[in-house]
Structure 1
Amino acid sequence: MANIIAIVWDFDKTLVDGYMQDPVFENYGVDASEFWREVNALPEKYKKEQDVLVNPDTIYLNQFINYAKSGKFKGLTNQKLKEFGKDLKFYKGVPEIFKKTKDLIENDPTYKEYDIKVEHYIVSTGMTQIIKGSSVMPYVEHVWGCELIEGKDKDGAPCISEIGYTIDNTSKTRALFEINKGVYSENGREGVKVNTKIPEELRRVHFINMMYVADGPSDIPAFSVVNKNHGATFAIYPKGNMSAMRQVEQMRADGRINMYAEADYTDGTTAYMWICNKITEFAERIRKEEKDKIAKYASIEGPKHLV
């Protein structure tokens, strides 16, 4: 099925005002700034002490596990992470824009005739369970994020204790190809993996029908894949943050993104209108392509009686 428009979202600072871990820090009385300072120092620390390279995108997970095992995050399990998803501070217009963009196409009889649909996906270096507990989930097809395995803390109580799966800013591109090929579509495509060779015409979501929305330079690999394949790219910056605005403006000037706006998705804002307009452009192109296919066959005359 190629009549799907996929909106792929980053999460922290794209949909959430801040970081998804903020409710965890608040609950346990942990200074978030100090935690992130510790995390940012770890790559150099491990390189200097052990001559070991670590992934700066995901090393924070080790620190979360250390805090949980030591009792600083007492009783932090996957279920508790999921519960923290309810406390996230989303930007204005979220999750409403998820539903409105679906309805924009699916409630329009012009597009319903060709079974054109909008799907939402989240690809984040954050924690999958927190995202799954949030208010956007009723509208999301699939989440790619970091997964944690439970074990025991120093007192024998359940807690997160091992890393199960990670997404970093480079492997986000893998998720894009999994969307493209339908690896995690509803009911899945039997036997289809990210490396499965599938002709472009048989792929579930064409890149040209894909939009990637994120907040900054760390998402350049994903922006590049979507741009290269003629999809749409959009960046967000927090209202009033001049340095963040300059950053995304430079990305636009460098051809990394198509457009950007401040982080407000309510009706009438630049973000809302640009995203909806681009979705409609996608739908119109798909509709025209489908009409042209039908017209091609309709123009072929059927057999006639010979005179």
Structure 2
Amino acid sequence: MAATPTIAIAYDFDGTLSPGSMQEHSFIPEIGEEIGAFWGRVNGEAARLGADNILIYMHEMVKAAQREDVRFRREDIERHGASVGFFPGVAEGWFQRLRDYGAARGVRVQHYIISSGLKEMIAASAVGDQFDAIFASEFKYNADDVPVWAASAVNYTNKTQFLFRINKGALDLSDHTEVNAYVPEDDRPVPFRNMIYVGDGDTDVPCMRTVKEQGGVSIAVHPAGDAKGAEKTAKLKTDRRVHFTTDADYSDGSKLDAYVKAAIDKMVAVERLKALER
């Protein structure tokens, strides 16, 4: 292989790398509300208005903090991000282990987040510095770092655009020209055949299908011992949305670890064949 091929692994965040939703780890407890009550209000308001759930949850976070007189500035959001917990193995070397695994086989492995959660919280989490880019919802702040508006909202329907941004190397969200420009697949920084998507549920289906249908690998995970979660991911496989389902265990030697490494091996072999064909 003349140049170093790139393999991109894109992850959902909530329920994929981290149990539950990121707001549940410390923000909702800090405002003194039950988790079910907070999300019930969000979903009810979204249904009443016919609105985007993502925009509504962001607004509800701001309103709840104001109502309970809880400080809610950028640094507080980042503080909540630092308290987020992870599934086994995520914060214990998963990302670097795969970078090393790829490097030993002559490829570059990159990691990306595509999430409806808050970018500020993800970036401040224990693994925030492990990603080549984080595509997630984000607040607009005033001069005092108080959130006043939604700068971006990532939902299940617009998640797929970020796959194409990774595919074409168009990571600047303000640039709409590069992501829409025609580039032959083999000339793109990350061909879809070199892409792996890891998610956990219905909101990931568009990304799972896109990656799978374009020649990449899609994986659905669920918490270990969660029968309902296992049933949901099994249906994703039955419906041909994903190639593989397993526990959300990112430890060295886990089934997920073995499958992702096997997928990397396959992609390396295909790249060698492509190089010989040129």
Same topology, TM > 0.5:
yes
Whichever residue aligns with residue 167 of structure 2, its letter is N
Q: Does the CA contact (< 8 Å) of 1:58 and 1:125 recur in 2?
A: no
Whichever residue aligns with residue 166 of structure 1, its letter is A
Q: Does the CA contact (< 8 Å) of 2:31 and 2:64 recur in 1?
A: no
- Once the two structures are TM-superposed, the CA of residue 288 in structure 1 deviates from its matched residue by 3.5
Q: Distance in 1 between matches of 2:257 and 2:32?
A: 36
Whichever residue aligns with residue 205 of structure 1, its letter is V
TM-superposition CA deviations, 1:98-118 (whole Å, max 9, x none): 111101011x1xx33xxx200
Counterparts in 2 of 1:73 and 1:285: CA distance versus 1, 3 Å: farther
Whichever residue aligns with residue 184 of structure 2, its letter is P
Q: Distance in 1 between matches of 2:200 and 2:273?
A: 32
Q: Which position in structure 1 is the counterpart of 2:98?
A: 101
2:87 aligned residue (73, 86, 91): 91
Q: What are the residue-to-residue correspondences of 1:3-18 with 2, within 5 Å?
A: 3-18=5-20
Runs of 4+ more than 6 Å apart: none
TM-superposition CA deviations, 1:174-200 (whole Å, max 9, x none): 000000110128xx9x98532122222
Q: Which position in structure 2 is the counterpart of 1:261?
A: 246
Counterparts in 2 of 1:13 and 1:73: CA distance versus 1, 3 Å: farther
**Comparing 73-82 with 224-233, which one deviates more in the overlay?**
73-82
**Comparing 10-19 with 24-33, which one deviates more in the overlay?**
24-33
1:199 aligned residue (179, 184, 199): 184
TM-superposition CA deviations, 1:186-235 (whole Å, max 9, x none): xx9x9853212222232111000000000012211111111110100000
Q: Which position in structure 1 is the counterpart of 2:59?
A: 62
Counterparts in 2 of 1:252 and 1:140: CA distance versus 1, 3 Å: same
TM-superposition CA deviations, 1:258-283 (whole Å, max 9, x none): 00001111122111111121112212
Highest CA radius of gyration, 1 or 2? 1
TM-score, normalization by structure 1: 0.83
TM-superposition CA deviations, 1:15-35 (whole Å, max 9, x none): 001111122122333322210
Q: Which position in structure 2 is the counterpart of 1:303?
A: none
Whichever residue aligns with residue 117 of structure 1, its letter is R
2:41 aligned residue (27, 33, 38): 38
The answer for unaligned runs of 5 or more in structure 1 is: 47-52, 297-307
Q: Distance in 1 between matches of 2:4 and 2:176?
A: 19
Whichever residue aligns with residue 242 of structure 2, its letter is I
Q: Which position in structure 2 is the counterpart of 1:304?
A: none
Q: Does the CA contact (< 8 Å) of 2:123 and 2:129 recur in 1?
A: no
Identity %: 27
Q: Does the CA contact (< 8 Å) of 1:2 and 1:205 recur in 2?
A: no
1:131 aligned residue (94, 106, 122): 122
Q: Which position in structure 1 is the counterpart of 2:164?
A: 177
Q: Distance in 2 between matches of 1:219 and 1:73?
A: 35
- Once the two structures are TM-superposed, the CA of residue 124 in structure 1 deviates from its matched residue by 0.1
Q: Does the CA contact (< 8 Å) of 1:85 and 1:130 recur in 2?
A: yes
TM-score, normalization by structure 2: 0.91
Q: What are the residue-to-residue correspondences of 1:243-262 with 2, within 5 Å?
A: 243-262=228-247
Q: Which position in structure 2 is the counterpart of 1:163?
A: 150
- SS of structure 1 residue aligned to 2:179: coil
Whichever residue aligns with residue 231 of structure 1, its letter is G
Whichever residue aligns with residue 249 of structure 2, its letter is D
Q: Distance in 2 between matches of 1:245 and 1:282?
A: 27
- Once the two structures are TM-superposed, the CA of residue 244 in structure 1 deviates from its matched residue by 1.2
Q: Does the CA contact (< 8 Å) of 1:58 and 1:168 recur in 2?
A: no
Q: Distance in 2 between matches of 1:99 and 1:211?
A: 16
Whichever residue aligns with residue 41 of structure 2, its letter is E
User: Aligned-residue CA RMSD in angstroms?
Assistant: 2.1
